[in-house]
A and B are shown apart, each in its own frame.
Chain A
Amino acid sequence: MERHPRPVSAAAPSAGSFPAQKLAGYGVAAVAAVLVLYPVFYLLQAAFDTGDPVARPPTEYGVDNFAAVFNYPQILLNTLTVSFAATVMALVIGFVMAWILARTNVPGRRVFEQLMVVPYYLTPLLGALAWSMLGQPESGFINQVWRALGGSEHIIDINTAYGIAWVMALFEGSVAFVMIAAVMKSMDPSLEEASQVMGASRLRTMLRVTLPLVIPGILGAAIFVFAEMLGSFAVALVLGLPSRYYVITTAIYQFVQQYPPRIQLAAAMGVSLFAVMFVMLFLYRRVVTSGSYVTITGKAFRPRVVDVGRLRYLLFAVCVLYLLAAVVLPLATLLFASVQKIAVAFPSADNFTLHNFSAAMSMNAARSALGNSLILGFATATIGVPLMGLLAWLIYRSRLPGAGLIEYVVMFPQAVPRLVFAFGMMWAWVVFPIPIYGTMWLLLIAYLTVFLPLGVRTISGVMLQIDKSLEECAQMCGASWTFRTRTVTIPLLWPGLIAAWLLLFIASIRELGASILLMGAHSKVITPAIVESYFGTASELTATLALIQTLVIGAAMIVLVAFTRRVGAHPID
């Protein structure tokens, strides 16, 4: 054995002798920066443009557009009313469900806990469509039943602030649940046991120990949910537009779509909304990182389960009721409407038909929209995974200078409602020298941009679980960056990459806020097509389209859940 063999290859002793690594790292960083910052720049430009709205670039700058936002106090009030009501309801749902499923011995806890993520994947749009069919004052099924039972007028009206808030809360409730349940599970049960051992009663323990410990977490969830509500679009669009009830997102959409469009005002509204959400998410991070005692360790405990006796059957009913309202009832309603000629609560036998399904599939618009969505889903996921995988590696593993800054840029779309982001993109890519506006290319770019945080977080979640020394060891064995990435990093990351692919695919297929502004006449996609169908054609056909979309997403979901269960990852990031 030779005693001191030469190093693997006689490299020129220079500081920068790993170009592949740097090239790939800074390459994707540049792509991400362009994707995110280019539209943001144009969004800001439009918001501060007080000159001739048709002239580009702007002739004058000022803050008049922001002052003009306050000419619409009703819209701001509506936004606050809906967001506040929805946040309160979502927190109640989230807290009650989290407490029941994390701390009591309700029957079927495991199954319920699995089912709690379903509303999140069903999408608020689907809920809004279904609840619109259920709760419209005239034709809503519930009100039809009410009148059949002898009532007069209507018992519920979904086209109101509280109707909108209710549907939003049903779906955001599962997000609140995930956050609050995480807080409850991260609390060391011995903290409560210590209080009881010292002689405190159950009530005193709850007031003096349990509540103070979980309150920062709940406050964090409240801020996060409120920010989400401020930026939510689909429910307010479907349920608010018929009664001309506008919130800020639907108003932005209206101002962009109307003729003549009021681009500058819409931009100022978008920037204001984004600024408020940014502050809220900043607060959220502060609360979660500094205010909470229980999330510091990040360790999961098995929470102490309270035996609630007979009450458990009542709590069981509460869980069933929630899942009925958020999942079963909406799906059943859409199915019920989709098999009727004219959707009514009490159809006669000859009203039933399967014609809607063949009609939906033979309708050129719907078929091409579904086809486009599938193509975009595949393309977004397939391009997104390597792009976001490299970004995750760059941010969390490469230790190249500037990685922290890249993280901020990549996570930026998180704080901006997709509608507002898409607005910036529309404005940016219209003036782009290559004509991609109105094509599928623009939608692809938009999806890759708005889903950057989703993809990067999913992949980095798995990446951070991989012991760093596994890669370092390959390096010590003499493997170059490309070799060790191919033989060690990617094979270890494979489950995370597949999960990210499926999540990106699902997210693309159900995307509304960005697509509705950016799709062109020849690049229609399924979710906005469903909304168009809802406002333009019969609700039976809309229900059918929504069901078909749900089937596609459901199939992808089943693959995802089966896959993540096998590799032990969690589908919700």
Chain B
Amino acid sequence: MPPMVASSKPHIEVENLEVNFGAVPAVRGVSFTVAPGQQLTLLGPSGCGKTTTLRAIAGLEKPVGGEIRIDGAPVYSSARQINIPAEKRGLSMVFQSYAIWPHMTVFENVAYGLRVRRTPSAEIAEKVDHALGMVQMRAFAGRRASQLSGGQQQRVALARAFVFSPSVLLFDEPLSNLDAKLRGDMRLELRELQHRLGITSVYVTHDLEEALAMSDRIVVMRDGLVEQIGTPDDIYGLPRSAFVADFVGSANLIRGRHRADLSKDGLIALETAGGQLIYGTAYGRPVGAELTVSVRTVHLQICPQPPPGTPNVWPVRVEKTVFQGDFSQLHVAWGDQHLVVRCAAMEPVPAGSEVYMTVEPRRVVLLAPEAAASA
């Protein structure tokens, strides 16, 4: 099911949201929208305000400014003095700690939201059974929370969150307490479930892979501000700022002068202080006199002979090789700069080798000028 189908109206709108912790501003004017059925991820390092933003949407934090609308109706508005309490917003949430109530059985945990809504008990039994079936926990209905593993608690928390058909599901780093293997499996399951339910969701994580794998759109946040909004492809492939380039995967940043005289084929030419020339792509971003480009470490390639047909070829010396399992990390001297190259090299390249390095100009991404300097 393509989740990005053009829809008439956004489901969630966050506008100039500001939240303070005491006197300290945690969120400093954040705006984004989520289309119906879409999964949006708030991504950023700890302390960037992503969880606070999510909790403000939930109604668990009281903002100090801005507006939050759900289905076009404001649930918080500083201008109109509206702040609907969390329990009346009709949302649901999966907590980082799962928050499974230890004094209730799995069944009672899941049934809670339905009981709140005074659902007839026959219907409760049916819906809980269905929800537990969807997360493959039907056999555990009579268990207590203390008898469940982390992954099982996670599934119960999930069933509890969607069983009463909320309009929006919020996820606060739901996978961060699971071990790496289980996290990978749950990631796929969650994505699958979200598609099946077709439910609008906002997801918070600091894990890049999780964000790239699960989202329709990603909001990268930093210091309480939005750094970039886009699809996973955009965020990874076309980072707008040095921060995004660096946080989302690993990248080399190269600064230098614009050599308009050498530009060709719609490419931009950049000359570093050390005199190295590299061709890149502007992607419609304004080209000034001083430029910064980002090159992902995986997009740089090492080859024994200079490959034909590309303007970006340089002879380089490998200074250090670090074997890291799935890939090897090479530190190479490039003019007076040091670049990092990640390659799935079958044959190890020993330190001191003289080799050639190349990169496709479309992988050399110009950063937006105002955002480039802030790294």
A-side residues, CB < 8 A to B, are 1-9, 11, 13-15, 17-18, 467, 469-470, 472-481, 483-484, 487-488, 491-492
1/0 contact string of B90-115 vs chain A (CB within 8 Å):
11110111010111000000001100
Nearest 3 A-B pairs (CB), nearest first?
A: A7-B90, A477-B113, A473-B99
Q: How far is the CA of A477 from the CA of B197 in the complex (A)?
A: 18
- CB contacts (< 8 Å) of B87 on chain A: these are 8, 475-481, 484
Size bin of chain B's contact surface: 35 or more
Q: Does B249 contact A (CB under 8 A)?
A: no
A4 touching B101, Cβ below 8 Å: no
- Contact assessment for B85 and A18 in the assembled complex, using a CB-CB cutoff below 8 Å: yes
In the complex with contacts A475-B60, A479-B112, A17-B88 CB distance below 8 A: yes
* One of A5, A18, A487 near B112 (C-beta < 8 A): A487
Residues of A within 8 A of B65 (CB): none
Pairwise interchain contact B88-A3, C-beta atoms closer than 8 A: no
B250 within 8 A of A: no
Would you call A473 and B95 a contact (CB within 8 A)? yes
CB–CB B85/A467 < 8 A? no
**Contact assessment for A478 and B165 in the assembled complex, using a CB-CB cutoff below 8 Å:** no
In the complex, whether B84 has a CB less than 8 A from a CB of chain A is yes
Contact A491/B103 with A1-B165, A477-B160, A478-B113 known, Cβ cut-off 8 Å? yes
Seen from chain B, the residues whose Cβ lies within 8 Å of a Cβ on chain A are 11, 36-37, 58-60, 70-71, 73-75, 81-93, 95-97, 99, 101-103, 112-113, 116-117, 157, 160-161, 164-167, 170, 197-198, 200
Question: Which residues of the partner chain A approach B200 to less than 8 Å between Cβ atoms?
Answer: 4
Known: A3-B36, A8-B117. A472 touches B60 (CB 8 A): yes
CA distance A494 to B68 in the complex (A): 37
- Pick the contact of A478: B70, B96, B103, B116 (CB < 8 A): B116
| CB-nearest residue of chain A to B162 | A1
* Bound Cα distance from A475 to B86, whole angstroms: 6
Residues of B within 8 A of A479 (CB): 87, 112, 116
What CA separation (Å) do A11 and B75 show in the bound complex? Answer: 10
Task: Say how far A403's CB is from chain B's closest CB, in angstroms.
Answer: 13
Given A6-B90, A467-B97, A475-B87, 7 new contacts (CB under 8 A): A5-B90, A7-B90, A8-B88, A9-B88, A14-B82, A15-B82, A492-B102
Residues of chain A within 8 A (CB-CB) of B116 are 8, 477-479, 483
B84 to chain A, nearest CB (A): 6
Q: Which residues from chain B contact A9 at a C-beta distance below 8 Å?
A: 88
Q: How far is the CA of A257 from the CA of B165 in the complex (A)?
A: 70
Nearest opposing residue in chain A for B157, CB measure: A473
Check A5–B167 contact: CB distance below 8 A. Answer: yes
Question: Chain B nearest CB: distance from A471 CB in Å?
Answer: 9
- Chain B residue at minimal CB-CB distance from A16: B83
Which residue on chain B has the smallest CB distance to residue A473? B99
Residue pair B74, A13 in contact (C-beta under 8 Å): yes
When C-beta atoms are compared, the residue in chain B nearest to A4 turns out to be: B167
Provide the residues of chain B in CB contact with A484, threshold 8 Å: 87
A472 to B103, CA, bound (A): 16
- With A17-B84, A18-B85, A478-B87 known as contacts, the answer to whether A472 contacts B197 (CB < 8 A) is no
